[in-house]
Amino acid sequence: MIVTITLNGKKIIEDISADMTLYQFVREHGCYSVKCGCETTNCGLCTVFLNDKPVLSCAVLAARADGQKVETLEGLQKEAEEFGRFIADQGAEQCGFCNPGMIMNAIALFRETSEPTDEEIKRYLAGNLCRCSGYEGQLRGIHEFIKYKKEGGASWAK
Amino acid sequence: MGEVGQPIRKKDAMALVTGKPVYMDDLAPKECLIVKVLRSPHANALIEEVNLAGALKVPGIEAIYTWKDVPKNRFAQAGQTYPEWSPYDRLILDQHVRFVGDAVAIVAGEDEKCVDLAMKRIKVKYKVLPAVLDYHTAKDNPILVHPEDNWKSMFPVGADNHRNLCAHMEDEKGDVEKVFADCDLTLERTFHVPAVNQAMMETFRTCCYIDTYGRLVILSSTQIVFHVRRIIAAALGIPKSKVRSMKPRIGGGFGAKQTVVSEIYPAFVTWMTKKPSKLLYSREESQIAGSPRHEMEVTVKVGANNDGTIRAIEVYNLSNTGAYGDHGPTTAGLTGHKSIPLYTANLEAYRHTFDVVYTNICAAGAYRGYGATQGVFALESVVNELAGKIGMDPVEIRMKNVVRQGMCMMAYDNEIASGCRLDECLMRAAEMIGWKEKFPCKDMGNGKVRSVGIAMAMQGSCISHVDVGSATIMLNEDGSYKLTIAAADMGTGCDTILSQMAADCLNVTTDEIFVSGADTDFSPYDSGSYASSTTYITGQAVVRASTELEKRIRTLAARMLSCELEDVDYDGHVAKNVKTGESVTIEEIGYQAQCSNDYALQVTESYTSPVSPPPYMAGAVEIELDKETGHVEILDYAAVVDCGTVVNPNLARVQVEGGLGQGIGMALFENIQYSEKGQLYNNSLMQYKIPTRMDYGKLRVEFRPSFEPTGPFGVKSIGEIVINTPAPALADAIYNATGHWMRDLPMTGEKIAMAIAGEE
């Protein structure tokens, strides 16, 4: 079937198989930040934006993104850098494999919420597993990012 | 000076947080054959016939291999220094399959779809055999997991494949029985730890291709590039010189990738077809056919006097190595070796005995803590119970018996505790959690109880007399340095902390050093990153190499300045002749090294250690337990660690927090359950519950660094120890809340609720 998907601002018209997942589609188009950690929608590593909303790309058929807008961290490099350095400054990226998915979801959180509480942060990111960091360093990084945002940084965030 | 001790950002951090393509599957050649492994549905069976006719007809299939196609020399997959303690009990593919998930056939094709279809069309006729599924019955069971004649043990570890025995060893000092008889009381208890999985976010994966010279190149997510080269060459029966092994960024290891789990299959495909290939384990494969912790039953007996003096300790562990013996003999040794020495102060005698048995379940391997975790859970739990029996505070009984600075540790090969602040760690952890006010518990009056628990732990900093770490450091013409290593940064940050050490030796900043490796073609030999050895062992090699290079830079500068070495004043960037005031810059020295020069500004050094200084820590937890449901909520966890000098406080702290998270998962949630037929139920992250960020409260970490005289800059280690305290500390807190000791991990709400219900 032929689909039209706008991936990171670029319109792609392609003949795909009906059972192709959005995860497979974005990786085939060079979006290697998107990872697969579980195949059972538990880990959050494959998070992408479908029309600005975070979805698990392993559980969305590429066909369902026909005519829609898809974004991965490759298309959000400015945001990734601006937020990611607060994670890096805690050493909380560790192996890094879960980071793109978590950062996608964090970007979504900060587009929606200006000053999330710890409880809200944890709930929003609960589906983003990390086996290295124990999550505490990520939370510290997020606190630092909120401070930076209050001082006028990260214009993309709410 | 001053780079060591700074919270410097990891060198790869920005690439990782911005999602750059730096992992195996991001870097694999695009035209790779897709490799998958057909796995046995039976726990113990002989393959009578494999019909490939239908499968080979699937368009796009390149090759399918079965046991008939592979070399017949047995090998060990455990990434250990040769000669391995682990038995040579594996073939690439065997006619005898020994667990549900054991490899039956390797299928390679041009895409995933055709491979999946071919896998369905392979018809295998099995002769199903009775299986050994209960490890209590494995030893001397008439059903043999490894009846084959060419099974081989390389080391005298008491192994006997005709008894299902992978190892049996004993270690004893002093007369344990006599001391027990003389004690006021003894307490003996048995504990169970299941074969929990590392569950690193990046599953096992490898790609292979043939290089310009016809050599096999392996790009794998591994902690052990040199062991991969040796093991794969041996398994394929080809010279080591025909193999190159390297690692990109690794998406977590925790010991899982200290075993050659996925490498052999694409290596075989590429060697046979000469085409690039790759294999990515699914999460299910990583769970059912990975390399988890050894399931163990640990029995601990402690002899003490009524005043709390701990005089004798006996540990017996029955370890389940599963279908293959990778890391079997070595993990079981640590169960006593890295728990008993915690109580060195008044210890008169100890005995540690273990049996490691084969069964028809997934083979175990190396997982952070490596046998010590099981021992610490058991011993710390017994000491907590003992304290209660003699009416002593658990902190007090430890302060009376704990190993202290300068003591000779009889149960640790008589090594001296040359850097030890465990007593301070213990007192501080107790203080942080509010032990005096909160011990043992407080009924909240709403069906919930708040309580506290405490435990200590130790580990090692290398495998003494075995591990080799190496580093090559080279001055470039712009004054920067290339540090080449084969230790594996798996997210831990060793590329960065080793650079911090080199920077201090060379009087430069960490930014002036870049790191390259790990690659068996270019890196100097290193055992790899395991046994908590990288900071301590490879770190010392880095210090040696950098110190020697600095001396060489000064020597070349002296030649350039036509003066004596002692007249050179060098600050890391400019060398000055103190007599004439003439100077040369590091760039000039760098260029001089490249022109009319026979004095290399490149140094390689190796290091090995006769000792393995233990890091120590104490962990204290506060929980709220729901008496109705048994649910445990972790309110606060205080950890205080003596890892020697802290090279990078950020990275050390995150190591502790991450290890605590895994320890909490193992203690409370992560379960391993097999069906009667030997099939693992917990084969996905849906059923295998690793902690989310909702599953515990605060983790608070502090350091009480001793200065380890044998370590570079006074370091010891931190990677493994941090997983050891949660299970015993939580068991203690659960007891203090309910009056019930949980001795079987995981301590689920269900088990706790059932224990409470049982008393009513």
Residues of B with Cβ-Cβ distance to A139 under 8 angstroms: 693
* High-pLDDT (> 90) share of chain B, %: 99
Residues of B with Cβ-Cβ distance to A45 under 8 angstroms: 201
Distances (CA, A) of A17 to A61, A149, B111: 10, 43, 13
Residue in A77, A80, A126 nearest the CB of B693: A126
pLDDT reported for residue B353: 98
Average pLDDT taken over every residue of chain A: 97
pLDDT reported for residue B760: 63
Do the Cβ atoms of B252 and A43 come within 8 Å? Answer: no
B30-129+204-280 has which fold?
Answer: Aldehyde Oxidoreductase; domain 3 (3.90.1170)
Distance, in Å, from the CA atom of A140 to the CA atom of B181, rounded to the nearest integer, reads: 53
pLDDT in tens, B645-687: 999 999 999 999 999 999 999 999 999 999 999 999 999 999 9
What chain A holds in terms of domains, given with CATH numbers, is 2-74 (3.10.20.30), 76-150 (1.10.150.120)
Tell me the count of A-B CB pairs closer than 8 A.
184
Do the Cβ atoms of A96 and B491 come within 8 Å? Answer: yes
Distance, in Å, from the CA atom of B76 to the CA atom of B79, rounded to the nearest integer, reads: 8
pLDDT in tens, B175-218: 999 999 999 999 999 999 999 999 999 999 999 999 999 999 99
pLDDT band at B576 (very low <50, low <70, confident <90, very high): very high
Is B126 in contact with B48 (CB distance < 8 Å)?
yes
Over residues B229-251, mean pLDDT: 98
Closest CA of chain A from B115, distance in Å: 16
Residues of B with Cβ-Cβ distance to A93 under 8 angstroms: 10, 13, 16-17, 491
Residues of B with Cβ-Cβ distance to A98 under 8 angstroms: 201, 251
pLDDT reported for residue B1: 62
For chain B, how are helix, strand and coil distributed in percent, rounded to 5? 30, 25, 45
Nearest residue of chain A to residue B221 (CA atoms) = A95
Q: What is the pTM of this model?
A: 0.97
Residue in A72, A90, A139 nearest the CB of B650: A90
Residue in A40, A85, A122 nearest the CB of B684: A40
Q: What are the b/e assignments for A54-77, b being 16+ CB within 10 Å?
A: bbbbbebbbbebeebbbbbbbbbe
Nearest residue of chain B to residue A83 (CA atoms) = B17
Strand order in the sheet with B205-210: B61-65, B103-109, B33-39, B277-280, B205-210, B216-220, B243-246
Domains in chain B: boundaries: 30-129+204-280, 295-461+612-759, 469-607
Closest CA of chain B from A85, distance in Å: 7
Distance, in Å, from the CA atom of B203 to the CA atom of B199, rounded to the nearest integer, reads: 8
pLDDT beyond 80 at B444:
yes
Query: Which residue, among B402, B384, B385, has the nearest Cα to B454 in the 3D structure?
Result: B384
Across-strand partners of B170? B353
pLDDT in tens, A27-53: 999 999 999 999 999 999 999 999 999
For chain A, how are helix, strand and coil distributed in percent, rounded to 5? 40, 15, 45
Element (H, E) at B212: none
Nearest residue of chain B to residue A120 (CA atoms) = B694
Closest CA of chain B from A90, distance in Å: 6
* High-pLDDT (> 70) share of chain B, %: 100
Distance, in Å, from the CA atom of B206 to the CA atom of B223, rounded to the nearest integer, reads: 12
Task: Give the number of other CB atoms < 10 A from CB of residue B9.
Answer: 21
Per CATH, B30-129+204-280 and B469-607 having the same topology is answered no
Over residues B511-522, mean pLDDT: 97
Closest CA of chain B from A102, distance in Å: 9
Residue in A73, A123, A133 nearest the CB of B658: A133
Closest CA of chain A from B692, distance in Å: 6
Residues of A with Cβ-Cβ distance to B284 under 8 angstroms: 39
Average pLDDT taken over every residue of chain B: 98
Residue in A34, A43, A134 nearest the CB of B201: A43
Give all strands (DSSP E) within B204-348, no chain letters.
205-210, 216-220, 243-246, 277-280, 295-304, 310-322
Give the best residue of A82, A97, A125, A139 to mutate against chain B (max B CB count within 10 A).
A97
Is B85 in contact with B329 (CB distance < 8 Å)?
yes
Residue B757, classed as helix, strand or coil, is: helix
Residues of B with Cβ-Cβ distance to A90 under 8 angstroms: 650, 654
For B397, the token pair is: 């009984």
Closest CA of chain B from A109, distance in Å: 15
Nearest residue of chain B to residue A84 (CA atoms) = B17
Closest CA of chain A from B491, distance in Å: 3
For B274, the token pair is: 């000469």
CATH class of B469-607: alpha beta
Closest CA of chain A from B254, distance in Å: 9
Element (H, E) at B356: strand B349-358
pLDDT in tens, B260-315: 999 999 999 999 999 999 999 999 999 999 999 999 999 999 999 999 999 999 99
Residues of B with Cβ-Cβ distance to A97 under 8 angstroms: 23, 200-202, 251-252, 491
CATH class of B295-461+612-759: alpha beta
pLDDT in tens, B394-415: 999 999 999 999 999 999 999 9
pLDDT reported for residue B229: 98
Closest CA of chain A from B295, distance in Å: 21
For B280, the token pair is: 């990515």
Residue in B17, B201, B684 nearest the CB of A129: B201
Residue in A35, A88, A135 nearest the CB of B14: A88
pLDDT band at B759 (very low <50, low <70, confident <90, very high): confident
Distance, in Å, from the CA atom of B727 to the CA atom of B715, rounded to the nearest integer, reads: 26
Give the best residue of B10, B16, B205, B702 to mutate against chain A (max A CB count within 10 A).
B16
Over residues B362-391, mean pLDDT: 98
Residue in A40, A92, A131 nearest the CB of B252: A131
Distance, in Å, from the CA atom of B451 to the CA atom of B439, rounded to the nearest integer, reads: 7
Query: Which residue, among B256, B245, B384, B225, has the nearest Cα to B326 in the 3D structure?
Result: B256
Do the Cβ atoms of B283 and A40 come within 8 Å? Answer: yes
Site of tokens 């406080």:
B649
Over residues B494-515, mean pLDDT: 98
For B423, the token pair is: 């007593």
pLDDT band at B581 (very low <50, low <70, confident <90, very high): very high
Do the Cβ atoms of A91 and B692 come within 8 Å? Answer: no
Asked if the interface predicted TM-score (ipTM) of this complex is over 0.90, the answer is yes
Residue in B250, B650, B693 nearest the CB of A122: B693
Distance, in Å, from the CA atom of B50 to the CA atom of B53, rounded to the nearest integer, reads: 9
Do the Cβ atoms of A132 and B202 come within 8 Å? Answer: no
